Structure 1
């Protein structure tokens, strides 16, 4: 019996939180959530292969699910939260997220646990206090069609950074920027720059000059995106950068996705579709103090 099952059984014989298995997929698909064309349902088999997905059962009926994803072996992100329509506001979501948070911190390599939710998602934002998580950052994701933005300032040209210099270049400029988050993946910002693996860096096209730089990553998230990660604010307004970004995006008919702090994102508001996210989290050091 794994740790999650033990935690679940402590709730009583009629209530159980446990890891979901492939044979539970029909239960997940049958659980009414009120979400039409839910991507979680469409890719549930894949999620079970790549992440930990747990379910909350009441009298053998599935009433909620949640997931845990670990990045770079050190950052644990909670999500995939879905609750049965008849069991909302009954603490199901908080119980699921708390169970996963406990399990995550039992791994000594994990230094941060958290999640991101839209600023308008009242339920998602209300869970954070129950998990003793603090607001780490507010992030605006802008989706932009190619050639909509041309930039404002003339900067020195950007050169491609070689594989062996990528990590040091990213660390240098990100530290200097003082950003409160790192856009690790689309939908997965982290409140700090993690130790980037070679596997991650191989997917990154990195360009830099003597004042800053930017990263380009191709991502498939229901649509084809070019994820632009700007290493400092000066680069954000560069005509040279936007010329390169637009060329890359148009080549494969990709929508540009860029994550920015609220103040920086205001410049893009008239030209993009924006979503504001609240990133909540708990560092291991603080978690241990409260244990």
Structure 2
């Protein structure tokens, strides 16, 4: 390589050079959905080039014109060790700072992905929290008490969700964001179902989320779900009302996940770290 390194936004006709990059990722979903990625309004994808050769790819997804989550990072294995991924992500953050009104940049990666975590730490992003993805097949559901009350008033749901001490909200399964009234719109809240315990101190919010399978994404905000009578009965009752749900998904703290480990098998690949940087 003897060309000049440069970064630019990717176009539809960059798919050919993307396919020529050797990443050692079998059936890479980025290649499969590349046309959709390029055309989505809330996605921006960049490439690092040496002349016409693509060395790395990365981008970000935006939420409500305030938050950006970095992702889609890929680099050519033939040229790793040259700081290409770090350079590209730094350029993307610089672009966000100078060309958008976004206020927050996040990165979300598996604990076992040490290479990605090393890159992120070089970007001056701070570790915010650790989240355990818990994915359960439906046959794990067992009745454990009375089904919780369902609430449909979006104003009440919003205030309940904002009342927790959590600073993170799992907006989508792979997109935990700083908790914010901004995105808890009536339209967003209407896509899920809200259930509250009879004592009024614990509640859950369930939405469908598609990640290869259709999941019931159960959002619960405390570490004590194993102590809450009716929790699994409520999840089961909700799923019975949905015809296409195939699995259950929870984003939990390691403490909450450990309380379930005697019943369910946990996978270290499902422990994720969230990093952040405020730009304002």
Fold shared per TM-score above 0.5: yes
TM superposition shift of 1:234:
4.4
Range 58-67 or range 229-238, more displaced: 229-238
Q: What is residue 277 of structure 1 aligned with on the other side?
A: 272
Aligned to 1:36: 26
| Alignment check: 8 A CA contact 1:115 1:280 kept | yes
Check conservation: 1:14, 1:60, Cα contact below 8 A. Answer: no
Alignment of 1:180-195 (within 5 A): 180-193=167-180, 195=182
The residue number in structure 2 matching 1:164 is: 155
Distance (Å, rounded) in 1 between the aligned partners of 2:273 and 2:87: 20
Contact (CA 8 Å) 1:158, 1:241: kept in 2 or not?
no
Shift of 1:219: 1.1
1:158–1:213 contact (8 Å) kept in structure 2: no
Distance 1:47 1:14, change over 3 A: same
Which aligned runs of 4 or more in structure 1 are off by greater than 6 angstroms? Answer: none
Q: Alpha-carbon deviation of 1:156?
A: 7.9
Contact 1:114 1:281 in 2 (8 A): yes
Q: TM-score normalized by structure 1?
A: 0.84
Contact 1:212 1:234 (8 Å CA) reproduced: no
- Runs of 5+ in structure 1 lacking a partner? 1-11, 286-291
- Kept after mapping to 2: 8 A contact 1:144/1:273: no
Given the superposition, is the C-alpha separation of residues 155 and 74 from structure 1 closer, same or farther in structure 2, using an over 3 Å criterion? farther
Is 1:73 aligned to 2:65, yes or no?
A: yes
Structure holding more helix per residue: 1
Per-residue deviation, 1:218 = 0.5
Structure-2 change in CA distance of 1:258 and 1:206 (3 Å): same
Alignment of 1:54 onto 2:42: no
Q: Give the CA deviation at 1:268.
A: 2.2
Q: Does the 8 A contact of 2:162 with 2:181 survive in 1?
A: no
Give yes or no for contact 1:137–1:279 (8 Å, CA) kept in 2: yes
Residue 196 (structure 2) pairs with residue 201 (structure 1): no
User: 2:97 aligned with 1:102, yes or no?
Assistant: no
Task: Give the distance between the partners of 1:58 and 1:253, measured in 2 at CA.
Answer: 45
DSSP 3-state at the match of 2:142: coil
Distance, in Å, in 1 between the alignment partners of 2:50 and 2:5 is: 5
In the TM superposition, residue 31 of structure 1 has moved relative to its aligned partner by 1.4
* Alpha-carbon distance change, 238 to 125 in structure 1, aligned in 2, over 3 angstroms: same
- What secondary structure, in the 3-state scheme, does the structure 1 residue paired with 2:65 have? coil
Q: Distance in 2 between matches of 1:144 and 1:203?
A: 21
Q: 1:54·1:65 contact (CA, 8 Å) conserved in 2?
A: yes
Q: CA, structure 1 residues 236+199, in 2 after alignment: closer, same or farther (shift >3 Å)?
A: farther
Could you give the per-residue CA deviations for residues 205-229 of structure 1, whole angstroms, max 9, x where no partner exists? Answer: 1222411211111111111111110
Gaps of 5+ in 2: none
Write the deviation string for residues 121-167 of structure 1: whole angstroms up to 9, x where unpaired: 01111012221111000110000011414376x57832223133322
1:213–1:232 contact (8 Å) kept in structure 2: no
112-121 or 184-193: bigger deviation: 184-193
Give 1:4's aligned residue: none
Return the alpha-carbon distance in structure 2 between the equivalents of residues 166 and 105 of structure 1. Answer: 34
- 2:44–2:60: 8 Å Cα contact kept in structure 1? yes
Q: Give the aligned CA root-mean-square deviation in angstroms.
A: 2.3
CA contact (8 A) 2:209 2:215 kept: yes
How big is the shift at 1:113? Answer: 0.4
Matched-pair contact (CA < 8 Å) for 1:68–1:76? yes
